[in-house]
Structure 1
Amino acid sequence: MESAIEVLDLVTYYGERKILKGISFSIPTGMTTVIVGGSGCGKTTTLKHLIGLLRPASGSIHIHGKDIATMDDTSLDEYRKKMGVLFQGAALLNSMTLAENVALPLREHTRLKGSVIDIIVRMKLDLVGLSGFGDFYPAQLSGGMKKRAGIARAMAMDPVILYFDEPSAGLDPVTAAGLDELILRLHQVFKMTVVVVTHELPSIFKIADYVIMLDKGEVAFVGTLDEFKKSDKTIVRTFLERRPEEESYSPDNYFKIITGA
């Protein structure tokens, strides 16, 4: 199985607090990989490393053979042109129309003529079911439509890797199911590598080929979706069966965590 991404011994600190504790995993080329786990397990921190927003304290992140953890800013910017990201809140610019949002990376990073960019923008909006909405502003759209517009922008540069951060967050079940179908269709049509951070079981079962589970900054499971479903690991069964964990809270410890003391 060819790997698009190889993470080795990744360590990250927030202040003096160790968040990722030497995690290692591979993400297969051309598959949809979901990164799952409970709140605070390190999912979003891992995603930030994969898209180059955070530098690790140590370890490597090889993407198509190149270690982005050691890249200079210029090389990292070139790498980012080959990926697309849907952020959790869609991150659309409210002062721009949908068409202008989708066109932004094309205007910033290519020398295409305006007429060509307009055609590409219409194609991308049609791809996500928003044909005819180019002149609308983000404030005029529902949450699901904003997510779709965010996907259109993420697809603008025809990325080889597409990242999603909690794509179903804040959506009703029907809208979330529609977004899962869109992610599935994009993967099937374009055969790209897709990485999704989520904790939504219906989404995992619908879109995942491969699963990486984190727990308290460590890798708890790596394998196919079928292997994940059949795993007898306690942490996996607890997650799949939605069993509550026994937790004890200390006001003193909580204060230290939120203040970084």
Structure 2
Amino acid sequence: MSDLTGKTVAITGASSGLGQHFARLLADRGANLALMARRTDRLEAEVEALRAKGSKAVAIALDVSNVGAIGPALDAAETELGPIHVMINNAGVGGEGMALDITPEHFDQTFAVNTRGVYFGAREAAKRMLASGVAEASEARIINIASIAGLTVLPGLTAYCASKAAVISMTKGLAREWTRQHIAVNAICPGYIETEINAHWFATEGGQKQISRMPRKRLMDITALDEALLMLAGPAAGQITGTAITIDDGQVL
């Protein structure tokens, strides 16, 4: 079990879904948490709940599509909590739309959040990990949340699939660039987990039909990623970099 006591973890998209779950999981392992998202009212409520349980946490407003805001947000996290050890690039949007229908604005927003936000989130975190000595101590961890959509073709989600495939590729490329600086860069590719981003779909007849076509005819539980996340955030990832771990309950089989 990874002990992250005193380590500072920054999580984007932390106001709900996976980001919120990751924050609670890592708080239980002793991490100091910088929760980042656009919906600051939700962040503040989550931070208050974490503090009530004895965790050290701060809420920082951040829209990752504004890449110029990422560095200052990480600076604010370090001012409050100390050097960043773990960066979890979790913020994402759906990117639904058939190729003949999706607007250029919707396409661009999908890539702005899912791809550019991850790339520059990783870059800005790496800069600070190098400057603080966290990288030199072999404690620097960057975890990008990709998707099985980056590994297969999903109907009506071409833009989304492309954005997540780019995350997998950039994870490997950044891992290669920073391997001698001892910054571990890895990705997790989750299967379908019901969160705010997709709950409306899975409540429909079409969503239920999709679930029925999955090999195990079910969605994954939100806890399915826990062990992989803890491994990649902790000491074990000192010798793991450039990896994209698929956890999907066999959904792409």
Q: Which has the higher helix share?
A: 2
Select the structure with the greater relative contact order (CA < 8 A; seq sep ≥ 6).
Answer: 1
Same fold (TM over 0.5): no
- Normalised by the length of structure 1, the TM-score is 0.35
Q: Which has the higher strand share?
A: 1
The structure having more radius of gyration, on CA atoms, is 1
